[in-house]
Chain A
C-alpha cells in the first residue's frame, strides 16, 4: 500500500488549475490550426486567425486564455493500492482555492444556486472519482466555462428512437445553441447508462484528445457522421457563418436498461481546457 499525503494533491490541483487556464492542450491547438487550413469562408478564416492569435498570446504571456476560467471539474483515477493521508475532498478544494487566487483566475462560483453569493475562491470543485487498479493517482483538471455548459442538453430517448434519434438530438442541440457557446465547439456525447451517468460520460468525453476516436468502429463512425452533419449546419466560428462549427465530436457509451436510451450532449467551446498529472 502506497501512502500519499493529501497536501501533494493540493499542490498538483493548484498547478493544474493555473496551467489549464493558460495553455491550451497541443491537440486542441493542432485541431484548430487544421480547421483554419480547411476553412474557405473569409469571415470564418478571420475569426479562426484571432482565436489562434489569442491562445498563442495567452501561452506566451501566461495569462488566462478566456475570462471565464470556469468551474473546476476535477477527475481522479484513484489506484486501489493508494492510501491518502488526510482529507481528499478538502485537499482538492484547497488546490482550487490556491490555484485560482495565485493564478489571477476569475472566481465564478456561487455557494447556493438561488441565493447566489460568490464563494470568493472558486470552490467547491466538481469532483468525480474512479477507482482503478495500481498505486498511482491520475488527476485531471478541466475548467468548464458556462457559456457552453448552459447550452448542454440531456434527453431520455426511447429505444425505438435508435441511432437516428441520437443523431437528430445531438445535431439539433448544437443548432439550437447556435452562436451562444462560442463555436467552434467540441461536443461530448454520452449514450446509455442512467440519467446521471449519461451526463457524466458526456463530460468525460470532452477530456479525450481531439483527433482520437472511440475504440469501437461503430461509434468512431458515428462520431464522424455527427461531426459532418454539425459542420454542414453553416453556423461557423462565433456563429458568423462558415464550415467550422465543431472541432470534434467524442461519443462515450454505457450499458443501459431495456426501456431506455439516455443521451447527453455536453458542449465545450474552442477553449477546450484540460490538464493532467500522475502522482
Chain B
C-alpha cells in the first residue's frame, strides 16, 4: 500500500501502516542522533523539559552536511538506527510515534513500539542528496554545540519512507528477504 500522511503521527494514523508499505510524510519531523539522544535522556533524568514534545512526533536519525550558501540543508540521509536503541524505548513510552532511520532494531525497541503503537520507517541510506530535496525548512532548536548532531525541526514534503517495522511488530527485513528467496525457488 501507499500512504500520504500529514504529521503529527497520531496512533490512529500509525495503526493501519504495515511493514512494506510506502509512505510519504508531510509536516514536521525532528532530527536527533547519538549525542542528541544522550542529552535527551539526561534531561529526562533531571526531570527537565525536552526541546520538543515526543507525543505523536517522528524523529529522523540524521546528521546532515552543512547547508551551502542558498541551500536549506545539505545532504540528509538516514544514519544506522541501532545506536539509538538504548534510548528509544523511553521516548516511545512518552508517546513518540515514529522513527526514521535504517538498519535493524533491538527486541526491546520493537516491544516498546508495539506498546506505543509506533512505526519504524526506513529511508534510503546513502541517498542524502535526493532526500534533502524533500526538506522545505530546517530550524536548529537545541544543542547547537553538537553541530551536525544538533536537534533540528524539519518541514518535509512527500518525504519518501518505507515501513520497516509496523506497530504489530512485523519486520520488512525478515519478510522481504523471505519472500524474495521463496520467489527465487
Which positions in A face B, CB cutoff 8 Å? 41, 43-44, 47, 50-51, 53-55, 57-58, 61, 63-69, 104-108, 116, 118, 120, 147, 150, 178-182, 233-236, 238-243, 269-271
Contacts and interface: CB of A to CB of B under 8 A. Distances in A.
Contacts, number: 152
Given A104-B66, A238-B124, A241-B180, A180 B129 contact: no
Residue in B64, B65, B181 whose Cβ sees the most chain A Cβ within 10 Å? B65
Contacts of A240: 122, 162, 172-173, 176
B28 interface: no
Contact of B75 (A58, A179, A181): A58
23 contacts: A44-B180, A53-B130, A54-B128, A55-B129, A63-B71, A64-B75, A64-B128, A66-B77, A66-B127, A66-B128, A67-B79, A67-B128, A106-B65, A107-B148, A108-B63, A116-B35, A180-B82, A236-B176, A239-B122, A239-B176, A240-B122, A242-B180, A271-B126
A107 B80 CA distance: 17
Contacts of B65: 63-64, 67, 69, 104-106
Contacts of A235: 177
Contacts of B18: none
Interface in B156-182: 160, 162, 172-173, 175-181
Given A69-B75, A239-B122, A240-B172, 10 more contacts: A50-B160, A63-B68, A66-B128, A67-B64, A104-B74, A180-B102, A234-B184, A238-B102, A239-B103, A239-B177
Contacts of B125: 66, 147, 182, 238, 269
Contacts of B103: 147, 178-180, 239
A190 B125 CA distance: 26
Interface of B: 20, 35, 62-68, 71, 74-77, 79-80, 82, 102-104, 122, 124-130, 132-133, 146-148, 160, 162, 172-173, 175-181, 183-184
B102 A270 contact: no
Contacts of B35: 116
Residue in B63, B80, B122 whose Cβ sees the most chain A Cβ within 10 Å? B80
Nearest to A151: B80
